[in-house]
Structure 1
Amino acid sequence: MNLLFYVIASKSFFILLTKVIIPKTCSQYLKHEKLSENQKSEFALRMSSNFHAILVSCICLYLILFDETIRTDPVWGYSELVATNLTITVGFLLADLLVMSSSFEAAGGSWTLCFHHVGSIYAYSLAIRNGVLLYFANFRLLAEISTPFVNARWCLATLNMKDNKLYFINGVLMAAVFFLCRIAIMPFFYYMAWQVISTESYQRMASTVHGVIASIFSIYVVLFDTEICKDFVWGYSEAAGNSLANTMGYLLADFCLMMWFGFEVSGGSWAYCFHHIGSFYAYYLAISHSFLLRVANIRLLAEFSTLFVNARWCLASLDLKDNKLYFINGVLMTFAFFLCRIAIMPYFYYMAWQVINSKSYESVSFLLHVSWIGVCLMLDVFNCIWFVKMIRGAFKHMNYAESHSTPSKVAANDVYSVVNGAKVKGLGKTSQHDDSKND
């Protein structure tokens, strides 16, 4: 709520600055220079842009150089100042879009600039809203250092000072700063991004995003997609197909990252690889043959439990195991896992039996029949094993809490490793992926 207030306040301030403060303050100078109305409007926008660029650039440099919180953890690192800096930028971009929309040509707007603003607002809003990748979002703001030189060039050109030595000096500085802050920095930025992508924390973020999307898609398809309910075997709808395609893309990307970076870095395991291969194969059969799409989406309901599994890992990584939120999330995780992966099994296989005995299923080939049943059985064996480990870990945690008033870090790590099916080598190293992330 506070961040939303900052965005609204920033937008209101920059509109006031552009429409009232700058025109009033510079009215005599602009009148003396005999600028057109369009030039006066663009001048106000560019001065507002300069104010924003200088402000956020100073904050940005301070954060990159001195804020250890976001430097230590580029994925989940959070500080109020970095979030505030991004809200200032989002407010400015909204104000700039609003002013441009009211007088597009007069404000010197362009469709390229509009797309730039919309894309930036979307990216920064995601970072602010989810408290993720704030370091990278702030790093991108280094580009604003070149903005004052770009605006100064326009002002000098508008004042017919192209033959002035100042125009040449500013042009050299603009080219140099633009190159340094927007071009030369690219290799380092993408190298740093590549390093972050290899971490388990980033992959869990991707897993969480996929879990949210897959859960929404599958719930819609199962409950509200009337087209696919007409025929359980060959029924087809765009929503059902897109839901599976989205999951196939995620499984393929996650599998490739695990293979590239190795299990120790990415937190993967061989069981997790077999899970991905089996799921990908089953969903491919469903999409390529337009076969059992509703049944496949029912399997995707298991993704709802992934959100709590990843939240548990994040809380443990932040040393919040003694926090009440960690306990509440653990209860919700166990309940969601049981509901979405274990309790649903009798209904699923009853429905599968009904489908197999239906008339429309008679045309299904033997390979399709064996493939989808075999993959479902394999995934459910994994689910049962993981759930048993969860229950054992929960009992171990409760027994330990009864015998010790203050749990030690060693026991806490042991409990966590059992709950998530990980193999721990040494004190405090929870290395393996939660094998229960996807289905």
Structure 2
Amino acid sequence: MEVILNLPYEVKVIGASFTFFSVTCLYCSNFFFKDFQSYKNASEKTRKNWNVRFASTVHAVVMAIMTSVILINNLEFSHTNPIWGKPYGAVTTISVFIGYMLEDLLMISTYIWCGWKTGLPDIVHHVASVVVATSVLKYEYIYFITILRAWSECSTPFIHIRWFMMKSDMLDNKWYLWNGIAVTVLFFICRILIMPYLYVTNYLFYDQVKTLGYLQLLIVMGMAMDYLNLTWFYKILSILFAYIKNPKRE
């Protein structure tokens, strides 16, 4: 116990986050949905996927609240010190984020592994996120930018709600369409619309960025994440327009 208490604050939060979301995935999801007809009738593979998505939804709600509060209370960092500024609560938020990413990485690579073709993009995304977030905590830089990127989780609950509704045969429900619109709007605002700011900031504050040395390469990882987000947004738009055109085909 003394060893645990003497661990760095960030490590304790990461461990607590990993444990919490592991329990949420493996036990809480089944507890909440065990009497839900679509969950009971689903295959074991689908129920596992359901459990992972439930944990992801809980994490996304937590991240949406924590990052929104930080961004609202520290907007001055967006134009005064986005590279070295350290908003209050950023360390805790990023540590929670890392803990969840490690938990989800474990789940998608073992618990619901579906092969490299399906799992590789998620693994690349998670590994890149953990590497960048861990470097932020270690070298204490780009806190504001990292929180802004984590704010993208605001769109995640609606992505999972769409999947839950599909598995519950609710494609004809009007809320399925409205949820699809919400996914598209939030994904655009939280993941696509912030891209110009991120790249303009790197340009305007390049004098500070270049002092990071080889750590500048970690910022480049953000470009890979942006590519994935653009790809996913294209798919979201395609699905939405296809559904509007012919709801029965999706």
The TM-score normalised by the length of structure 1 is 0.44
Distance in 2 of aligned mates of 1:122 and 1:181: 21
Structure 1 residues not aligned, in runs of 5+:
211-439
After superposition, the C-alpha distances for 1:108-129 in whole angstroms (9 at most, x for unaligned) are x621111110111111111111
Q: Is 1:11 equivalent to 2:18 in the alignment?
A: yes
1:196 match: 205
- Flag the 1:92–1:30 CA change in 2: closer, same or farther, 3 A: farther
Q: Is 1:110 equivalent to 2:119 in the alignment?
A: yes
Q: Is 1:87 equivalent to 2:81 in the alignment?
A: no
Q: Is 1:187 equivalent to 2:199 in the alignment?
A: no
* Post-superposition offset of 1:193: 2.3
Distance in 2 of aligned mates of 1:202 and 1:146: 29
Within the candidate set 135, 139, 154, 1:145 is matched to 154
Distance in 2 of aligned mates of 1:52 and 1:193: 29
Matched residue SS, 2:41:
coil
* Post-superposition offset of 1:88: 0.7
* Post-superposition offset of 1:73: 1.9
* Post-superposition offset of 1:104: 3.1
Q: Is the 8 A contact 1:57 1:142 kept in 2?
A: yes
2:131 match: 122
Distance in 1 of aligned mates of 2:18 and 2:146: 19
Residue identity matched to 1:156: M
1:23 match: 30
Q: Is the 8 A contact 1:69 1:77 kept in 2?
A: no
Q: Percent identity?
A: 24
Q: Is the 8 A contact 1:153 1:167 kept in 2?
A: yes
Q: Which runs of 4+ in 1 moved over 6 A?
A: none
Q: Is 1:65 equivalent to 2:72 in the alignment?
A: yes
- Flag the 1:189–1:79 CA change in 2: closer, same or farther, 3 A: closer
Distance in 1 of aligned mates of 2:38 and 2:166: 17
* Post-superposition offset of 1:68: 6.1
Residue identity matched to 1:176: V
1:156 match: 165
Q: Is the 8 A contact 1:69 1:79 kept in 2?
A: no
1:134 match: 143
Structure 2 residues not aligned, in runs of 5+:
1-7, 217-250
Q: Is the 8 A contact 1:64 1:139 kept in 2?
A: yes
- Flag the 1:78–1:47 CA change in 2: closer, same or farther, 3 A: same
**Count of matched residue positions in the alignment of Structure 1 and Structure 2:** 207
* Post-superposition offset of 1:25: 2.6
Residue identity matched to 1:178: F
Q: Is the 8 A contact 2:34 2:40 kept in 1?
A: no
Distance in 2 of aligned mates of 1:186 and 1:43: 31
Higher relative contact order structure (alpha carbons within 8 Å, sequence separation ≥ 6): 2
The TM-score normalised by the length of structure 2 is 0.76
Matched residue SS, 2:205:
helix
Distance in 1 of aligned mates of 2:76 and 2:53: 33
Q: Is the 8 A contact 2:87 2:144 kept in 1?
A: no
Residue identity matched to 2:125: H
Residue identity matched to 1:58: I
Residue identity matched to 1:50: T
Matched residue SS, 1:28:
coil
Matched residue SS, 1:110:
helix
